[in-house]
Structure 1
Amino acid sequence: MEISNEKLQKSVGIVDGVHSKSRYMQKFRLYETRSMFYMIGRDKNRTFWRVLKIDRLEPSELNIVEDPILYTETECCDILRCIHEGNKSTGGLKFLTNCYGIIGFIKFLEPYYMLLITNREKIGTICGHTVYAITKSEMVPIPHPSVRSKLAYSKDENRYKKLLCSVDLTKDFFYSYSYNIMLSLQKNLSGHNSMGQSLYETLFVWNEFLTRGIRKNLKNTSWTVALVYGFFRQDNLSISGREFNMIIIARRSRHYAGTRYLKRGVNERGRVANDVETEQIVFADASDGSPMQISSVVQVRGSIPLFWSQESSPLNLK
């Protein structure tokens, strides 16, 4: 299909000459005092800064407050200076890490942990929107050590932490700040009704549960990223002297997922095992004044929608 420049601009988020990507926070800095975490977020163009506060004195609850004010860089520096001065008696304000978004929060037996993207890599671009992969992540315990009980250091707690850390987020997870990567191109261009928090409740956002607490508390998704699990690759090709881009995206459903040996057929909620949506996007860069040519083909596959069971046998493993 052909897309006019006006519609293409809307699809990539340009309204009245202002790019929507400037409204998304993409870079964050995490600071700590004895009683609070302070996360400072800013947009790509450094036009505004925001502040998120996370309580560290509650050993087993998640208390998050978002400052509604948009600050300038100077104002934000003044705030950090005041926080440092006000906490000098307990060690002041300390810088902890740079990050690129919150993956979510999780609680096992007692304390909450915050999962952060601490490094990223650009893997492609769709209609001007950058798509990233995670190259490094970090898990930060929320409560201050002085308020944690023995349960926070128990063998079971450490075992659960190791199980979570065994999930390699640097493999096959991808996201975008400004493009709804969990939806097909057609749904993005047609103005799909899903927006904000409802996007996290779709089939293909794997950290929906991890972000549920902060999304419910703040009523927005400004500080989190929606992770899609599957496959993403973009290549520039040339046929008969004509260059074009091809993108392959495979989105794996978070429902009833698992290896074929453990998950087959359909469950009681109608979710089939190993449900995958594969999309092929082909587009050519348009010259000035010409409409952009772009095509998208979507294929959906999954296990046969029947209730399935198999008698276990040590001699007949499938």
Structure 2
Amino acid sequence: MALPFRDINVQVAPDAYTFTSPSSPNAPTLVIDRPTGDLRLSEAAAYPNKRISRVSSIAGILGTIKLRLDKYVIVVTKAQPMGRLKGHMVYKVISTDFLPMRERQIRDPDEDTFLALLKTFVMPGPMYFSYSLDLTNSFQRQASMDSSTPLWMRADDRFFWNRAVQSDLIDFRKRGSRSQPGPQAAADPYILPVIWGTLEIRPTTVKGTPLTLSLITRKSRFRAGTRYFTRGLDEEGHAANYNETEQIVVLNDPGSGLGGFAGSADMQSGKFGASDGKEMQILSYVQTRGSVPAFWAEINALKYTPKLQVRSIESALPAARKHFDEQIRIYGDNYLVNLVNQKGREKRVKETYEQLVETLVSSPQEGVKADSRTDEKFHVIEPGSSKQAYDRLHYVYFDYHHETKGMQMHRAMLLIDRLQDALVAQQYFRGVDMPANGGLETRNFQTSVVRTNCMDSLDRTNVVQSMFARWTLDRMFIDLGILERGENFAAVDRDFYFLFRNVWADNADTVSRAYAGTGAMKTDITRMGNRTNAGKLQDLNIAIKRFYLNNFRDGPRQDAFDLFLGAYDASTANIGPSLVFADRRPILIQSVPYLLAFSVFLVFVALFTRRVPDSAVLPMRLFILFWAAAAAWCVQFILKNGMLYVNWPKLNPRPWAVEGYQETISKVRKDKLLGAFVAKHERGLSTARYLSAEEGKKRIE
């Protein structure tokens, strides 16, 4: 079994980067020639090159990426052990380094910006890996796989976060190169799959029974991005903010021993046998979340509630079919829990989702339940038959907003009551580790999945997912004999309940930071078990931060995701110096925020500067009034033309952003004060980028 090398030395020379594994001296050496970036395997002895400038120890190769001027090898220079899961050590990426193919003599602003985006927004992200355990697949999927297959070949393509930057290595492994044609199996140990998301491993006890509680959230690399710039589905059926969360309980999991690229009791597998001769049991429960599977967008224009755009059901249907084809194939029946509001601006998204489900399933049967709080507490759509695959979709709308109003958070448990029969039938995965067979022996399967969403698939979704996880965990403990029937761990073991709540709250914060830029709202419910006034103040603080980040900082963050995940090819950006990231708005429009700051500064100077005795008051008052009026005009202009001041993604412009920009700039040309001064030639995004965005818009329509 070709597992990734735990210890790699990289030798830096002017003509090549050479990667070797000290613990596997007979393994071929990976050589990346400079400056071409060509890959080859060499049987040469260690340190053959007399011109080596340095030798460094690294934890693994994250991949290679080609930017505008040069190609870089991204290496993991430091990894932190997070604990053992099923006997395998798991690590978090702490620091990385970019090794350039060329020693650049000149500075290119765009190249520097590309590198800065990756180093600022992607490299510090929560990335995890294991040398011997497949973190991209749930334990249920792992149980049906051939464990002798190289780790990267077993990886779930959706959660193989560094798949795009590993493409050079993978292509070389599959096809070789001109100098070494054919498959290169010896390259397998250099390919290291990484996930992005949450990974918590907590050894603990429940009523005196030792066990390990783990939570893994895997963020999909498809349609990954930021809150307002990535909504709904793409044409391939990939949903925005799609995450798979697996809650794992391991009994008799060995948790001791040194591990890492620095050393291990078992360097080949990193695995230890079960303690005290007891069989190791793994129980896991999987949930998913993702944006409402339709074509929709929220268009920020410096307003707290962005304009909502929802495209027709007919245009979204092919993408929705692709999305649910994959979901049903992987998970079986899908229980689609929708938590968006049934009134106000979110109503259109709710109705679109319901119309899509009604179109997909056979003979849809609807049921609506009301109560004193709301006219539509539940809205259920079930297929009337089982003629086709889409009849495995079961839609359940829950009016979370009205049911929990007034801090009545316990009423969210009504959703558990409504879905109880489905949850009982759903089961969970249970397997026993069989070291002799090299894998898991399955004792029980999870046969369906709950797919939860709210508007962002963050705050409300986090609360509801933790409820499903808690209900299922009680069931696991009862089946294991840890709890008596009728008991729940929240009542009998307060310490474990505290641990459980905080693990899920940490998960909520991690998923939220990746998408919205802040921690999650409503985590007081998850951490404390109820809504608190302090939690409300914290949510207000988060709301203000999100408004700022989503309007002024998310453009570069979206660009960084697109760059790393292969949604944008930086090597095609050879269109002239400093054109990719340059601000091409008319200079007068760019100057308005600076005029605002200058006006406010002068007003404060005038107000707080000591006045000379006997000086005239009227000129100073006129001065203050003039600059206050200038500041007011600037504020009014910015808010009225907010589309011009949002920090949009520059690498893959959103069609609605291009359209809105053009409409807004046309209005500015008619402005009585500025219109005559704004250049007729609009220098916004480059013509090439407008054309590509328009083509994308036509394809979506």
Q: Which has the higher contact order (CA 8 A, sep 6+)?
A: 1
The structural deviation recorded for 1:157 is 1.4
- 2:215 aligned residue: 248
- 2:13 aligned residue: 33
Runs of 4+ in structure 1 over 6 Å off:
none
TM superposition score normalised by structure 1: 0.77
- 2:170 aligned residue: 215
C-alpha distance in 1 between matches for 2:138 and 2:16: 40
The structural deviation recorded for 1:316 is 4.8
- 2:289 aligned residue: 301
* Structure of larger gyration radius: 2
- Structure 1: which amino acid aligns with 2:244? E
The partner residue of 2:37 within 62, 67, 75 is: 62
Q: Are the equivalent residues in 2 in contact too, given 1:25–1:42 (CA < 8 A)?
A: no
- 2:31 aligned residue: 53
The structural deviation recorded for 1:166 is 1.1
Partner SS, residue 57 of structure 2: strand
CA change 1:198–1:49 in 2 (3 A) is closer
The structural deviation recorded for 1:196 is 5.0
- 1:157 aligned residue: 111
C-alpha distance in 2 between matches for 1:238 and 1:142: 51
Matched, 1:173 2:173: no
C-alpha distance in 2 between matches for 1:299 and 1:225: 26
Matched, 1:183 2:142: no
CA change 1:245–1:316 in 2 (3 A) is closer
The structural deviation recorded for 1:297 is 0.6
- 1:104 aligned residue: 63
CA change 1:244–1:47 in 2 (3 A) is farther
- 1:12 aligned residue: none
The one-character-per-residue Cα deviations of 1:85-136 (angstroms, maximum 9, x if unpaired) are: xxxxxxx223242111111111111211111101111102222221110111
CA-atom RMSD in angstroms: 2.5
Matched, 1:141 2:100: yes
Tell me, which stretches of 5 or more residues in structure 2 are unaligned? 175-186, 253-273, 307-701
- Structure 1: which amino acid aligns with 2:203? N
CA change 1:100–1:294 in 2 (3 A) is same
- 1:238 aligned residue: 205
CA change 1:160–1:290 in 2 (3 A) is closer
Matched, 1:205 2:184: no
Matched, 1:123 2:82: yes
C-alpha distance in 1 between matches for 2:247 and 2:200: 10
C-alpha distance in 2 between matches for 1:135 and 1:39: 20
The structural deviation recorded for 1:292 is 2.2
C-alpha distance in 2 between matches for 1:316 and 1:289: 59
C-alpha distance in 1 between matches for 2:112 and 2:156: 30
Partner SS, residue 49 of structure 2: helix
Q: Are the equivalent residues in 1 in contact too, given 2:4–2:188 (CA < 8 A)?
A: no
Identity of aligned residues (%): 26
CA change 1:39–1:239 in 2 (3 A) is same
Q: Are the equivalent residues in 2 in contact too, given 1:121–1:134 (CA < 8 A)?
A: yes
CA change 1:195–1:98 in 2 (3 A) is closer
- 1:10 aligned residue: none
The structural deviation recorded for 1:50 is 3.5
C-alpha distance in 1 between matches for 2:226 and 2:237: 18
C-alpha distance in 2 between matches for 1:303 and 1:316: 20
CA change 1:279–1:201 in 2 (3 A) is closer
Partner SS, residue 183 of structure 1: coil
The structural deviation recorded for 1:192 is 6.0
CA change 1:40–1:195 in 2 (3 A) is closer
Higher helix content, 1 or 2: 2
The one-character-per-residue Cα deviations of 1:124-167 (angstroms, maximum 9, x if unpaired) are: 22222211101111111122x3xx575xx322211211111112
Q: Are the equivalent residues in 1 in contact too, given 2:82–2:92 (CA < 8 A)?
A: yes
The partner residue of 2:191 within 217, 224, 244 is: 224
CA change 1:186–1:311 in 2 (3 A) is closer
The alignment of Structure 1 onto Structure 2 pairs a total of residues equal to 272
- Structure 2: which amino acid aligns with 1:235? R
The structural deviation recorded for 1:301 is 1.2
C-alpha distance in 2 between matches for 1:250 and 1:234: 12
Tell me, which stretches of 5 or more residues in structure 1 are unaligned? 1-19, 85-91
CA change 1:183–1:42 in 2 (3 A) is farther
Partner SS, residue 259 of structure 1: coil
The one-character-per-residue Cα deviations of 1:173-210 (angstroms, maximum 9, x if unpaired) are: 10111111100011112226985554456111111111
C-alpha distance in 2 between matches for 1:167 and 1:314: 23
C-alpha distance in 2 between matches for 1:164 and 1:204: 19
Q: Are the equivalent residues in 1 in contact too, given 2:31–2:41 (CA < 8 A)?
A: yes
Deviates more, 1:23-32 or 1:126-135: 23-32
